[in-house]
Structure 1
């Protein structure tokens, strides 16, 4: 196999009978993860979108100036980005933007707040999930797929 060749085959299950369960649920599991990720981002961003300038002090304390620019951008990324991720529209850019937000929260909790790994672990997990969708995009159960194009 050369470097340019990518294998898309999956290893066979140790218990082949389980493939009858795994294979049909493959797309469903990925869709469920994407939808939950998006809905939870919307839920998390709702308070910020209602008061888009409410995080001005917080973002400026992290070095993001002017806060009146970054605070509404944070709110929009979480709220509207979450909607886009949930429905699978512009999944890659929305996931990438939200991943950047989550990486900042890793720094915020882990370093600024001094909470270390214990304080940053949820943000690390969120960032990893968003990284997956930023690279992978949405699957066949998405608006992107229905449009026949992905960003």
Structure 2
């Protein structure tokens, strides 16, 4: 590796922007986590008010008993979204949400026959949650504050 590629700032067309990017790095990641978790919790808030309301739908996807899976779906989206937003148990919460989203990809792409266009939003959400499964909550998280990460 040459000296010019050892430091990513040296590879920038405008090297002075390196300081700007470095200053915003953690903040941008935190903002993405808070927004993703918040949106997941908002989406789940519709389900948490009637946690068994999706029982027939999940049984239609092959998940039995429907009441159990409906409850888990509601909790995963609502409480998991809150956990992701605040960065508490970030990796397990993101993994559970990722599982839900991969099921929705299957549902839209295969079961409904909508292909990529039907699954596009779920694929994007899955990619975001996969990022947090791998990265965790970063330094602006409850996980970091308590000094524990999964």
TM-score range with shorter-chain normalisation?
over 0.9
> Which residue is 1:135 aligned to?
134
Q: Quick check: 1:121 aligned with 2:120? A: yes
Pick closer, same or farther for the CA change 1:10–1:117 going to 2, 3 Å: farther
Equivalent residue, structure 1, for 2:42? 43
**SS of match in other structure, 1:15:** coil
Q: Which moved more, 1:23-32 or 1:12-21?
A: 12-21
Deviation at 1:14, TM superposition (A): 2.4
1:81 Cα shift? 0.2
- Looking at structure 2, the residues matched to 150 and 139 of structure 1 have their Cα atoms a distance apart, in angstroms, of 10
SS class of match (1:16): coil
Q: Could you tell me which residue of structure 1 aligns to residue 95 of structure 2?
A: 96
Q: Deviations over 1:40-73 (max 9, x none)?
A: 0001000100000110111001000110110000
1:54 maps to which residue? 53
Q: TM-score, normalised by structure 2?
A: 0.93
* RMSD, aligned CA: 1.3
Q: Displacement, 1:111?
A: 1.0
**Structure 2 unaligned runs (5+)?**
none
Deviation at 1:10, TM superposition (A): 5.6
Q: 1:16 & 1:122 partners in 2: Cα distance?
A: 35
Structure 1 segments unaligned to the other structure (5+ residues)? 2-8
* 1:113 Cα deviation after fit: 1.2
